[in-house]
Amino acid sequence: MKTIWDIYQFVNFRLNKDQSGRVFTPEEFNLACGFADYELMKLKYGLPEQYRPGMPIPAQGWEITQEITDALSHLKVYMGGRNEAQLPIDKDGYADIPENYLHYSSIAFVDYSYVCGDEEQDEIRVPVEVVKDGDWDTRIADVLMKPDMEYPICRFNSGYIEFRPRKLGSVDFTYLRKPNPSVLGYTIDDNYNIVYNEIGSTQPDWPEQMYNEFAVILYNWMAVNIKSGVNIQDAQNRKIQGW
């Protein structure tokens, strides 16, 4: 099993620290790890920089391929599923966004009906449409498109989600959470060498098969930091060729 220490050693190895005399210090490494998590998350979820007019589809994106879905599945939170209660909505139609929320995936109102003689309830799932601010007032005021229990809508605000109709009570809410930041724990021995401290470390919040991608992001940043043209080109080539 690879660890955060392996990634730290790999990045410094790729930077050829013995010849260049420069090294990614543990402090610099830990600082960079917190941002690398979001860089990798952004890459897998979908880079908005790759959008084109009329084609808002990035080269990589959430649920575009099974590989990407698998890569991010550990970050998926299903409120209303096996381990999490539904997202509660108050009487005014407001629901607090979870603190670890990062990206929305789906929202559905769930109801059940009973069939005589059938022990299992008939599950009724109604997708909640997420609308833009510019469409919110129009939908509420339009007699034909006014949201109801069969066609509910919502919009995201700062820290909360607003629903119509207000009486939904609760919904199934699926989202991607923030990755937990990686931390390299270490001590310094009598010879001033860095010694890995596993107990004080937090491993990357990614499947092990993605550690290489995580490491290349760090490698690229450090190459830029030490202004190494050779390392920068090597890092960019790794990205283009699939890491």
Give DSSP secondary structure letters for 125-184.
Answer: EEEPEE--HHHHHHHHH-TTT---SSS-EEEE-SSEEEEESGGG-EEEEEEEEPPPPPB-
Q: Are 47 and 86 within one domain?
A: no
pLDDT at 116: 60
pLDDT for position 111: 84
Q: Answer whether 8's CB lies under 8 Å from 185's CB.
A: no
CA dist., res. 167 & res. 18, Å (int): 65
Same domain, 143 and 229: no
211-225 and 26-45 helices, crossing angle to 10°: 120
Same domain assignment for residues 213 and 235: yes
Same domain for 122 and 163: yes
What would the two tokens of residue 175 be? 């989202």
Of residues 233, 236, 224, 243, the one with CA closest to residue 22: 224
Give the chain's residues under pLDDT 70: 17-22, 46-68, 113-121, 224-243
4-14 vs 26-45: helix crossing angle, rounded to 10: 100
Q: How many domains does the chain have?
A: 2
| Structural tokens at position 20 | 């260049």
What local confidence, expressed as pLDDT, does residue 17 receive?
Answer: 59
Asked if residue 113 belongs to a domain, the reply is yes
Per-residue pLDDT, 227: 54
Report CA-CA distances (Å) from 239 to 88, 116, 227, 233, 242. 42, 59, 18, 10, 5
Do 160 and 183 lie in a common domain? no
What does the pLDDT read at residue 8?
Answer: 93
pTM score, whole prediction: 0.77
Strand, coil or helix: what is 217? helix
Kindly state whether residues 171 and 193 are assigned to the same domain: no
Q: Which domain holds residue 163?
A: 76-177
What pLDDT does 158 receive?
Answer: 94
Q: Looking at residue 66, what is its pLDDT?
A: 64
Residues 6 or more apart whose Cβ sits within 8 Å of residue 193: none
Residues 129 and 95 in one domain: yes
For residues 106 and 158, state if they share a domain: yes
184 and 152 within one domain? no
